[in-house]
Amino acid sequence: MSASPDFSPPRRVLIVDADEGMRESASALLKLQGFEVAAAADGIEALTMFAREWFPVVVTDSAVPAVDGIEFVARLRILSLAPVYIIMLTDVSDVRFQEQGYCMGVDQYLMRANALGELVGRVQAGVTAIRRRQSSRTGRGHEPATVDLENGAHTARHLVGRLRAEIVQSGRSKKTLQLLSIGLDAADAAAFNQHTTTGSVSDTLLGAAHDAMRKKLDWVVRLPAPANTCRLVVVMPESGPSEVSAMEQTIRNAFVHWGLSSAANGIRLSLGLAFFAGDEDGPAALELLGQAERSRRSNDAMSKSAATRSTPESIPAQDAA
């Protein structure tokens, strides 16, 4: 029996920052965790080092000397012959500024003020992401396009970059882009972990979305979610009410034997919709995603309220008095 392939990348990190104190502090923290660390004071030096040796994780400031931070990321992506996870330090929290970076290849932003406290965890996540990307089946053969933020294989870069391209295309074609936000909430771990012939709750939901997706058009995002819940967003370019209705019906049909909305079963489905008609200035990718999620939460709240009103509750004696 042949051994399973090892997809673990080397624990090697490149730090790019003009601030010598930041370079030294970041390097010391990472070395304590067993990482091999190299540091560069400007973009030209860093690109030269990267061209000579693979660094699976690169931590760079957004204001890199000699080469602009965003341009540095773009050049790094061109040079890379293997996967690389890029963390950018910044003082700017503006959504559109960060969207530009995601579209150019930034995986994660880290606020500079909190950088040292969060750096080790972010770098560890980067190593995990590289390993999962190399072992992932996503994108192979004819499998539906899935951006998986929950298992760490992908990051905001993959989501924002793809969604930004869809928004731009919608504006050019004047065809409606729709985002269907889907949530499944279980009452407890037992309800969430139950299985049927179609698999677990999470597998059934993702499988149903895949079944209803239009080939070479729709794609799906699996988002990080709290315990005993799962969250998907189906991105539906060039779509109308009939396509959304078909997707919703396929998902509901997949759970017909699960007893959705049954108090005894403890599983609740919720959906929300956001759209861009292409006839106005396009929203930021994360803004459109937020609209879909807010719609889902609003619909979920109304459903829970309606269910509460339809279920009479006994009044405790002390309150009745």
Phi, psi of 263 (to 5 degrees): -60, -35
Chain segment 49-61, per-residue pLDDT in tens:
998 888 999 999 9
> What DSSP assignment string belongs to 53-119?
S--SEEEEESS-SSS-HHHHHHHHHHH-SS--EEEEEES---HHHHHHHHHHT--EEEEGGGHHHHH
| pLDDT tier for residue 315 given thresholds of 50, 70 and 90 | very low
What number is the average pLDDT over the span 33-48?
A: 94
Residue position matching structure tokens 């992908």: 154
Q: What is the pLDDT of residues 218-228, one digit of tens each?
A: 999 999 999 99
pLDDT, tens digit (0-9, with 9 covering 90-100), for 63-110: 988 888 889 999 999 888 788 999 999 999 898 899 999 998 999 999
Q: Collect all residues with Cβ–Cβ distance below 8 Å to 228 and sequence separation of at least 6.
A: 185, 186, 187, 188, 189, 191, 192
Distance CA 41, CA 19 (A): 7
Over residues 13-27, the pLDDT tens digits come to 999 999 999 999 999
pLDDT per residue over 272-305, tens digit each?
Answer: 999 999 877 889 999 999 999 999 999 999 988 8
Angle at 316 between CA 312 and CA 318, to 5 degrees: 145
Determine whether 250 is exposed, middle or buried from the number of CB atoms within 10 Å of its CB (0-12, 13-18, 19+).
Answer: middle
Q: Which residues pair with 61 in a beta bridge?
A: 89
What average pLDDT does this structure show over 109-135?
90
Euclidean distance between CA atoms 74 and 50, whole angstroms: 13
Tell me how far apart the alpha carbons of residues 85 and 108 are, in angstroms, rounded to a whole number: 8
Mean pLDDT (the chain) is: 86
Tokens representing 3 are 């051994």
Q: CA quadruple 154, 159, 160, 161: dihedral positive or negative?
A: positive
Q: Which pTM value belongs to this model?
A: 0.71
Instruction: Identify the pLDDT of residue 3.
Output: 53
Q: Give the percent of the chain with pLDDT over 70.
A: 86
Region 26-52: mean pLDDT is: 94
pLDDT above 90: residue 144: no
Contact 208, 250 (CB under 8 A): yes
